[in-house]
Amino acid sequence: MSKKVIDRDTTIKALSVLFAILLWFYVITEQNPVVPKDITVPVKLTNIEALDKNNLIMLEDPNSFFISLKLKGKKELLDTININNINAFADVSRYLSEGENEIPVVVSNIPDGVSINTKSYQTIKVTLDKKIASQRTVVPNITGNPVAGLANMKPELAPTEIVLTGPESIVNTIKEVRVDVDIAGAGADVIKRLPVRLLDEKGNEVTGVKTDAEWINVTIPIANTKRVPIQLVLEGGAAEGYIIANQSVQPREILVTGDQQALDGLSSINTNAVKLDNVTQDTELAVTLNLPEGVHLVNSNEQVKAALDIQKIITSDVEINTIGYRNLDPRFAFGKELSGTITVTVRGPEDLVNNAAQNIELYVDLRNAKEGEDSYEILWDTASKLEILEVSPQRISVDIVKRE
């Protein structure tokens, strides 16, 4: 075989091998190309127990962190990658300062042949606060009214207090821990299990705080009621030369509850004795009620106040120009008009004495009067606490004639 033929065969073989290699690369490239892939995976926070050990708490939800990755690699390999076989984590144990912390995110378990072109971020921001526990009293917020003639009594709650646990900055915004109870139209005891509400000073719900009890058992007794007047009981009095001109209580009536038989026999409620020690000026003070057995206040927080008007006792002469005539027999009439000024010496509280002319009515009783002019005793009606010491003159002449 000639050398020329051998060289030609060698060239053909070499070209065939080269063509086969190119064809293999073509097939591989077309069927399994290098492509990009975007994927978003959750960022797991590791060593989070270190927060409890350092009395810290995270303001963010630990499950709220995600990172977006742009990967590059063979299509077949990338197709096997999902959020379950790529790990992204941030170790919080080395970042334990109150306030904002930037913690690096580490991505692992990336297969050989796959590269990360870009990450949406390199770190996550975690805000840490001091973890506190605060015990609070649960307050019932009662709305509506029971049926007429009944009233709601003091609510019974279980539990009455709960413990709030959470970030100090959030726990401190909670101004009220309460349950809302609607008793509109209730005719018997109200028994409910209600969710506890955490509210700020504006009445908005506060979240991000844990409670050791999420539900409260509430019982509100519904009972019979009666409104009765309050009688002020005084012990002692004003100083010498002074008088209690007026006394009052506020409110004048109060709503009570209890057994129906006890209420039926109740016409008023006395205050516990108010001890006075020679008072010389107006006095206002809180008083307590002497409640009979089996009777209770509907509003146990209602306050009763007594007001005493203390006045100086004075004596004064008052001139009165008018006099009344009572009980004259219809057969008779008055003859000639008689006139004159009557001087009345009065004693009593200063205000009453200064207005005595308006508080005294002088009159003559003509029940047994006969025809002719005669002298009759001057009588009077006067305001309480106003004492008549002397009337001058004591008698007055009246002329009586028969009617024609």
Q: Confirm whether 151 is domain-assigned.
A: yes
- Of 204, 220, 236, the residue at which a domain comes to its end is 220
Q: Confirm whether 371 is domain-assigned.
A: yes
Q: Cα-atom radius of gyration of the chain, to the nearest Å?
A: 50
- Of 121, 145, 163, the residue at which a domain comes to its end is 121
**For 157-179, what is the mean pLDDT?**
96
Q: Are residues 299 and 338 in the same domain?
A: no
Domain coverage including residue 390: 321-402
Residue 210: pLDDT over 90: yes
Q: Confirm whether 126 is domain-assigned.
A: no
Residue 2: pLDDT over 60: no
* % of the chain with per-residue pLDDT over 70: 92
Q: Are residues 355 and 331 in the same domain?
A: yes
Which tens digits make up the pLDDT trace of 41-65? Answer: 999 999 999 999 999 999 999 999 9
* % of the chain with per-residue pLDDT over 90: 65
The domain that holds 365 is classified in CATH as: 2.170.120.30
CB 99, CB 128: distance < 8 Å: yes
Q: Confirm whether 205 is domain-assigned.
A: yes
From residue 29, give the alpha-carbon distance in Å to each of 9, 38, 80, 81, 141: 30, 21, 18, 20, 73
Q: Are residues 296 and 326 in the same domain?
A: no
Q: What is the pLDDT of residue 184?
A: 94
Helix (H, G, I), strand (E, B) or coil at 40: strand
Mean pLDDT over the full length of the chain: 89
Residue 103: pLDDT over 60: yes
- Indicate the DSSP class of residue 261: H
Q: Are residues 212 and 138 in the same domain?
A: yes
**For 354-377, what is the mean pLDDT?**
91
- Indicate the DSSP class of residue 259: -
Which tens digits make up the pLDDT trace of 26-43? Answer: 545 556 788 999 999 999
Which tens digits make up the pLDDT trace of 308-345? Answer: 999 999 999 999 988 889 999 999 988 876 667 899 99
Q: Which token pair is 165?
A: 């646990």
